[in-house]
Structure 1
Amino acid sequence: MIIEHHPLSKDFPELRERISALKSHAHFTHLASEYETVDKSVVRFEQQLEHCSGEELEQLKLRRVHLKDELYALLTAEA
């Protein structure tokens, strides 16, 4: 089974220009970096390349959702 990463530009293709524009925004960049790190960790654990408990994986998935929600709010906020 192939498990894919969830990059913002793939999940929100309609917001690609806004994603690029916000890359100079420190808070957005910090959240996006953390999101990418958490997303990659989830994928590694789901592919069983690394091991963690089921509870740890669920916590990472919740963090990923929370970060994506925050990023989406920034992306869709009025400029």
Structure 2
Amino acid sequence: MFPEFRELISHLKIQDDHFARLFNRHNDLDQQIKNMEAGIVPANGMAIEQLKKEKLQLKDSLYLILRKAADA
């Protein structure tokens, strides 16, 4: 995710607790979705769709933080 911000992501994960929480939640959701889609964890389409929406919102938030930090 966001390879152009790789160094900044590493820095923010250490320096910004809010960013780190969002980033970790995004990764957790990604893994949950993969497990559900693979049938490892039982789920219906609605549950997967809801997690994907939350993941997308987190990604948008992370991107905004990254853009602000890059412009600073």
TM-score by length of 2: 0.89
Aligned to 1:21: 11
Paired amino acid for 1:50: V
Q: For 2:64 and 2:45, locate their aligned partners in 1 and report how far apart those are by CA, in whole Å.
A: 29
Q: CA deviation at 1:12?
A: 1.1
Structure 2 residue ranges without an equivalent (≥5): none
Aligned to 2:65: 74
Aligned to 1:4: none
Cα root mean square deviation, aligned: 0.9
Aligned to 1:63: 54
Aligned to 1:40: 31
Higher helix share: 2
The count of corresponding residues between Structure 1 and Structure 2 is: 69
Paired amino acid for 1:27: H
Structure 1 residue ranges without an equivalent (≥5): 1-10
Report runs of 4+ in structure 1 exceeding 3 Å deviation: none
